[in-house]
Amino acid sequence: MGEGGVSLLAGWESFYVITGSAAAALTGLQFVVITLGAERNRGNAETNRAFGTPTIVHFGAVLLIAAILSAPWPSLVGVAFVLGLCGVAGLVYAAVIIRTARRQTLYTPVLEDWVWHFTLPPLAYATLLGAALMVQRSATVSLFVVGGTVLLLLFVGIHNAWDSVTFIALNLREQEAEREDQNKVLGVTATETTSLFEADKK
């Protein structure tokens, strides 16, 4: 596939400007989420590797793919090779994350977690690898497949970042409610102790 195939990339320029910029901005959001979790003592290093770091990686993958497809390639051979490497690396990383999630004991994943954290990402990277293999045979179709993969990774990252934020917020509310209940119990106990002391004095 010569210059005719490479010219197809020009039509995707605005798409990858949008998705790449979104991924870069949302990476900052995930940094905030991780900081909040650390301040509220939610999670540990292994849990963060299973549920927090992958979101950064997915946003980073979107940004990397956007950069790859915005570069001035002389032919689509190089594009196919680099995208294929990204797909393989993503699959290997997904396998490592699944193993980490099974090993950590602080949080038990529910069905939604298995879908969004451990099923859709490897599916996206496998699709990226498949698209890379068919770039030279059907450039137009493969570029649409890559675009769909980028959107999938972007929405997976958004969902997982939001899931982390709501988890931290809800647990913070529960902690505050427990603290208020404990203060009420202590207040009642102190009042009863004072009353008994005054009664003994009389």
The answer to whether position 184 is within a domain reads: no
What is the extent of the structural domain holding 137? 3-168
The answer to whether position 162 is within a domain reads: yes
Confidence of residue 1 (pLDDT cuts 50, 70, 90): very low
Is residue 195 pLDDT above 70, yes or no?
no
Confidence of residue 180 (pLDDT cuts 50, 70, 90): low
Q: What is the overall mean pLDDT for the chain?
A: 84
pLDDT computed for residue 88 by the predictor? 98
The answer to whether position 194 is within a domain reads: no
The answer to whether position 197 is within a domain reads: no
Confidence of residue 142 (pLDDT cuts 50, 70, 90): very high
SS3 for the chain is: CCHHHHHHHHHHHHHHHHHHHHHHHHHHHHHHHHHHHHHCCCCCHHHHHHHCHHHHHHHHHHHHHHHHHHCCCCCHHHHHHHHHHHHHHHHHHHHHHHHHHHHCCCCCCCHHHHHHHHCHHHHHHHHHHHHHHCCCCCHHHHHHHHHHHHHHHHHHHHHHHHHHHHHHHHHHHHHHHHHHHHHHHHHHHHHHHHHHHHHHHC
The answer to whether position 46 is within a domain reads: yes
Count of structural domains within the chain: 1
Percent of the chain residues past pLDDT 90, beyond the cut = 57
The answer to whether position 51 is within a domain reads: yes
The answer to whether position 116 is within a domain reads: yes
Confidence of residue 48 (pLDDT cuts 50, 70, 90): confident
Is residue 157 pLDDT above 70, yes or no?
yes
Is residue 37 pLDDT above 80, yes or no?
no
